[in-house]
Amino acid sequence: MVLDPIAYAGIGFAIGAGAGAVSAYLGWSASGEPFDARKFLNGAVTGVLSGLALVFANLAAFKTVPDEFAVLALYGTIIAGAIGVDMMRTKITSMVADRGETQEPTPSPAPV
């Protein structure tokens, strides 16, 4: 059953948003930290926005999709991209935070 390209894109938006939310959950679960609603929502919003951006980037592909297999490939790309962007954001944020914590001013030598 071939759907209208608008229906494919609408389903893609839902998949992109869902993948972003799943990515936020996976990030929190892997961190081992107690639940922090602000961090979780930040991750969820980032994931949802990245998923939606990937759908917008693929709108032309949804319009010219030849068959259902191509639609599944587009959906897989959206899921992988949304999760990847959120994971990359998490890693970069933690790297920057770790770098800021480890860089302490070196004490100057005592005058002799």
Helix (H) or strand (E) holding 52: helix 37-57
Dist CA 91 CA 1 (whole Å):
41
Gyration radius of the chain's alpha carbons: 20
Q: What is the pLDDT along the chain (112 residues), one digit of tens a residue?
A: 567 878 888 888 888 888 878 887 887 788 788 888 887 787 778 777 877 788 888 888 888 888 888 888 888 888 888 788 777 877 887 788 777 665 555 666 666 6
Tell me the whole-structure pTM to 2 decimals: 0.67
What one-letter code names the amino acid at 97? A
